Amino acid sequence: MKHFSKGLFVGAFVGALTIAAPLSYAATLKDQLVIGTSLAQVLSLDPHQATEGKAVEIMSNLYDRLVNSTPDGKIVPQLAESWKVDDKGITFTLRQAKFASGNPVTAKDVVYSIGRLLKLDQAAAANLKRVGYDKNNVDKLVTAVDDKTVRIDFSGQVTAEMLLYRLAASTTSIVDSVEVQKHVSDNDWGNAWMRTHSAGSGPFTLNRWSPNELVILDANKDYVTGAPKMKRVIVRHVPESQVERVMLERGDIDVASAMTAADLATFKDKQGFTIQRIPTGGFYVLSMNAGNQYLSNPKVREAIAYGIDYKGIEKTIMGPYGRARNVPVPENFESAIPNPDWPLDVEKSKQLLAEAGFKDGFSLTLKTIAQTPRIDLATAIQASLAQVGIKIDIQQGNGSEIIAAHRARDFDLLIPQTSAYMPNVLGSMEQFSSNPDNSKEANNAGNFVWRSAWDIPELTALTAKASMEPDAKKRGELYVEMQKLFVEQKPAVLPMFERFEPIVLSSKVQGYVGHPTQLTRLESVTKSEAQ
Amino acid sequence: MKELSVAEFGRRLAHLLVSLFILLCVTFVIGRVLPTDPVGAIVGELADPAAYAAMRTRLGLDLPIYQQFFLYLNGLAHGDFGTAVLTGNPVSSDLAQAFPATFELATLAVIISTFVGVPLGLVAALFRDSLIDKIARVVALVGHSIPVFWFGIVGLVIFYAGLNWVGGPGRVDVFYEGLVTPQTGLLLVDSLLQGETEIFWNALGHIILPAIILAYAAMAYITRMTRSFTLEQLSQDYVIAARAKGVSPTGAILRHVLPNIAVQLITILAISYGGLLEGAVVTEIVFSWPGIGQYMTNALMIGDMNAIVAATIIVGFIFMLLNFLADVAYALLDPRMREAAR
């Protein structure tokens, strides 16, 4: 009996192996690109609604805009084949393009799309609203001259260059007005339908979106510059970094993003893979609530700025994710000023605290989203500030919890992140240097500086002036002035690290170039033979 | 006996419904007081206060909580679980999509854990303190103490990345995605119904590892319980008598012990099944399995309360239903319970 049992056990085991063995798995096909990432934040694929990075990456392949910005920041034609700038506005001439539905792209679609963006009036509209376009004036400012000509007049708060950059964003995507209007219900501008369908003229169309599972894009064979090389693009939700790593190693995905620094490190110098470190122009920031009794004192804020070991954290924690920098403008941008002299200096920091009247230190809470690398960053700041005498109590939460606290000014310290919407000083800095009304009643929760209750009227005025300056040279001077003033004010929104998005690619993939504002286009991506 | 059974049945059913209502209340209240912000998640971080407020009103979040609760109950009475923030779909249609994936996984897991756990427990009891018994106990202990998460990753590294025996995360290889039209929602069944045998085998290769890993903890429990039930029976006079009459150990187990522990086994299998449906959360995340566990986790992340409450109620309902059915089976099958009732 005993022998029988053992025999049975061994037999079953061997049997299981032989059943399992023939099931072998092919790597991804040559004409399909598979991207592994976290889709948890993707809530909509309506370009006039969604602003989340991963959604933008998908939508930028479904839709075209009038103009496009290249990864190195140049404005190039997309649906507009040319444009003329005059004193009052810009006139665009459209190229002969078609939507995936077969309808031609006309000036009417452009007018409809920009109107739809502003009348739907969600976060996506913020970019244009910030420079004076809104649902009330859009019909007057954006008009169709003829079938293939569109006129956009200046709002009075924007220069031609600033407007072009905004028109290159995914939020100003041009949608198929005929198709969208077929799906309007309850005056929703077709939003309910558009969240899960596409009506664009981009190189791909949306085949399927299952939230938190996958997104399948099909090649648009009639795309104006020819069908993309990839027949399908599959974006797969892989929430677990280690699992993503294994899938990439195994060849089941071709491109991986949203990995932890530790998993990323395993691909360094590994044959068959390359790491791309995409600059975002944005920052990991320490927001200090200037409404707090301690943090309202600029000396305390300066003490904190001296109390963080930027270089050490860059080396041990940020790795591919960030580079130490305390001015909210990447150092390779034109007119960027050198870093202020705020290295870790415990003695100086203590002295500043003493001068501020807090010789014995105090306690603060630090809120952060429990996510790589922010959570490790919080721990490092806690350790570093402990040496100065500031006791930090870390409170972790999920995205909506922490953002809600940030919006409600309900925090002492908090670690948000930013990104630049254009590759110039204003594009990365504006959100750090403008707060038109700091009163509680203004309730301007959409403003990053307001959330820190940091009152900066002078800097706000200077920012507005710079954004209206048409002369590039004078603008450059204003940019330098803005940055200097920012540093002088001992910022309550303290940039710590310039932010990068690292991705890992299989070397089978060619032509994938990550875009700083996630407008990564996939039409020219190719794949070599599966290895 | 019959009348009593009906009364008993009714009492237990009422108990089930009350429990369910309490679960609903608690989940709803917790959901509404959590510091999450579904409105911000929808309109975006930088939306202006007017758009924010408009969305808040549209979701009914500006009403007092009791009114929200009554509105919710009213909807529920009409079979409407509300709309999910995450997907914009009615929660019921989301659940109809996510639940089959979990159901398929948990069902396979309960089958595996039963067909391995029960025989292993029997054998372990039969050869008490032998090598096989020790192995069974170690297996059970390990299954109970090591986190599923760790098991999942290690399993993937060995069997998927290393040996290439099983498929990776997800229900099927990517190039098969979207080729089978959901009918039952169970991919194994649907692919067979549509004659897509290649996809069936591929899907089987994908489900086998998560199912085994999910099954393992349940199997450990089932093995341990079967072993102790069996040991208890083996020391009973009737088994000793049977053995004395020359019945072989295997015969004694099959003919005498098994029927006697069947009722207890049904109870623990039902509990395990409920636990598997509920406990698939971690497994689903590790294996990118688009089931109810992952749906709930993501809903929690953005504070999508309609989705969370509905998913909790469904899982809770199934758990309670299985317990209820186990109780009923117990009452129907166990001769002693029938005696007591009389």
Closest CA to A179 of A166, A197, A163: A197
Query: For every residue of chain B, which 3-state class applies, written as one string?
Result: CHHHHHHHHHHHHHHHHHHHHHHHHHHHHHHHHCCCCHHHHHHCCCCCHHHHHHHHHHCCCCCCHHHHHHHHHHHHHCCCCCECCCCCCEHHHHHHHHHHHHHHHHHHHHHHHHHHHHHHHHHHHHCCCCHHHHHHHHHHHHHHHCCHHHHHHHHHHHHHHHCCCCCCCCCCCHHHCCCCCCCCCCHHHHHHHCCCHHHHHHHHHHHHHHHHHHHHHHHHHHHHHHHHHHHHHHCCHHHHHHHHCCCCHHHHHHHHHHHHHHHHHHHHHHHHHHHHHHCHHHHHHHCCCCCHHHHHHHHHHHCCHHHHHHHHHHHHHHHHHHHHHHHHHHHHHCHHHHHHHC
Go through A25-47 and write b for each residue having 16 or more CB atoms within 10 A of its CB, e for each that does not. Answer: bebbbeebbbbbbbbbbbbbbbb
CA atoms within 13 A on the CB side of A296: 5
Give me the pLDDT at residue A213, please: 83
Distance CA A465, CA A475 (A): 9
A346 to chain B, any CB pair closer than 8 A? The answer is no
Give me the pLDDT at residue A14, please: 44
Contact A23, B201 (CB under 8 A): yes
Structural element, H or E, at residue A68: strand A67-69
Q: What is the pTM of this model?
A: 0.79
Give me the pLDDT at residue B20, please: 84
Of B35, B51, B169, Cβ closest to residue A247? B169
Average pLDDT of the segment spanning B273-295 = 83
Q: Which of A257-271, A300-314, B24-38 has the lowest mean pLDDT?
A: B24-38
The per-residue pLDDT for range B38-88, each reduced to its tens digit, is 777 676 666 667 777 877 887 778 888 888 888 888 888 887 888 887 777
Contact B210, B281 (CB under 8 A): no
The per-residue pLDDT for range A239-256, each reduced to its tens digit, is 888 889 999 998 889 999
User: Are A252 and B49 in contact (CB < 8 Å)?
Assistant: no
Q: Is the pLDDT of residue A380 over 90?
A: yes
User: Are A23 and B97 in contact (CB < 8 Å)?
Assistant: no
Distance CA A295, CA A453 (A): 10
Helix axes of A399-407 and B292-302: crossing angle, nearest 10 degrees: 10
Give me the pLDDT at residue A408, please: 87
Give me the pLDDT at residue A387, please: 93
Whole-number percent of chain A with pLDDT over 70: 94
Does the N-terminal peptide bond of residue B210 adopt cis geometry, omega within 30 degrees of 0? no
Q: Count other Cβ atoms within 10 Å, centred on residue A514.
A: 21
Go through A251-268 and write b for each residue having 16 or more CB atoms within 10 A of its CB, e for each that does not. Answer: bbbbbbbbbbbebbeebe
Helix axes of B305-333 and B258-278: crossing angle, nearest 10 degrees: 180
Which three-class secondary structure state does DSSP give residue A436?
coil
Q: Is the pLDDT of residue A198 over 90?
A: yes
Q: Is the pLDDT of residue B215 over 90?
A: no
Average pLDDT of the segment spanning B185-194 = 85
CA atoms within 13 A on the CB side of A498: 21
Distance CA B238, CA A453 (A): 81
The per-residue pLDDT for range B171-182, each reduced to its tens digit, is 888 777 777 877
Q: Is the pLDDT of residue B35 over 70?
A: no
Give me the pLDDT at residue B340, please: 53
B90 to chain A, any CB pair closer than 8 A? The answer is no
User: Are B47 and A126 in contact (CB < 8 Å)?
Assistant: yes
B38 to chain A, any CB pair closer than 8 A? The answer is yes
Which three-class secondary structure state does DSSP give residue A368?
strand
pLDDT band at A187 (very low <50, low <70, confident <90, very high): confident
User: What is the secondary structure of A268-311 as a DSSP string?
Assistant: TT-TTEEEEEEEEEEEEEEEE-TTSTTTTSHHHHHHHHHTS-HH
Tell me phi and psi for residue B88, to 5 degrees.
75, 0
pLDDT band at A17 (very low <50, low <70, confident <90, very high): very low
Q: Which of A30-44, A165-179, B321-335 has the lowest mean pLDDT?
A: B321-335
Average pLDDT of the segment spanning B100-117 = 90
Distance CA A512, CA A505 (A): 8
Closest CA to A526 of B224, A513, B341: A513
Per-residue tokens: A509 = 């993939």
Q: Is the pLDDT of residue A141 over 70?
A: yes
Number of Cβ pairs < 8 A linking chain A and chain B = 179
Cβ neighbours of A208 in B, within 8 Å: 177-178
- Average pLDDT over chain A reads 88
Give me the pLDDT at residue B335, please: 59
Average pLDDT of the segment spanning B327-338 = 67
Of B165, B168, B178, Cβ closest to residue A216? B178
- A214-219 and A204-210: which strand pairing? antiparallel
Tell me phi and psi for residue A75, to 5 degrees.
-90, 125
Cβ neighbours of B300 in A, within 8 Å: 398
Per-residue tokens: A78 = 């997309």
pLDDT band at A414 (very low <50, low <70, confident <90, very high): very high
Q: Which of A92-106, A317-331, A490-504, B277-291 has the lowest mean pLDDT?
A: B277-291
Burial of A111 (0-12, 13-18, 19+ CB in 10 A): buried
Of B37, B156, B250, Cβ closest to residue A243? B156
Q: What angle do CA B174, B159, A16 make, to 5 degrees?
A: 105
The per-residue pLDDT for range B225-247, each reduced to its tens digit, is 888 888 888 777 777 787 777 77
**Could you tell me which residue, A59 or B14, shows the higher pLDDT?**
A59
The complex's ipTM? 0.73
The per-residue pLDDT for range A330-351, each reduced to its tens digit, is 988 889 999 998 999 999 999 9
Which three-class secondary structure state does DSSP give residue A172?
helix
Q: How far is B248 from chain A (nearest CA, A)?
A: 10
pLDDT band at A433 (very low <50, low <70, confident <90, very high): very high
- Average pLDDT over chain B reads 81
Give me the pLDDT at residue B46, please: 60
Q: Is the pLDDT of residue A8 over 70?
A: no
Distance CA A290, CA A350 (A): 20
Strand partners, A504: A256, A275
Give me the pLDDT at residue B48, please: 66
DSSP-assigned letter for residue A130: T
Q: How far is A90 from chain B (nearest CA, A)?
A: 27
Give me the pLDDT at residue A530, please: 52
B48 to chain A, any CB pair closer than 8 A? The answer is yes
DSSP-assigned letter for residue A417: B
Contact B171, B207 (CB under 8 A): yes
Q: Which residue of B has its CA nearest to A121?
A: B51
Q: Is the pLDDT of residue A20 over 70?
A: no
Q: How far is B256 from chain A (nearest CA, A)?
A: 19
- Give the residue carrying structure tokens 């930090």: A392
> For A101-228, where are the alpha helices, taking DSSP H only?
107-120, 126-129, 138-141, 160-167, 177-181, 191-194
DSSP-assigned letter for residue A497: E
B320 to chain A, any CB pair closer than 8 A? The answer is no
Spacing of C-alpha A196 from chain mean position:
21
Give me the pLDDT at residue B193, please: 85
Per-residue tokens: A303 = 């003490």
A445 to chain B, any CB pair closer than 8 A? The answer is yes
Distance CA B275, CA B62 (A): 36
Average pLDDT of the segment spanning A36-47 = 86
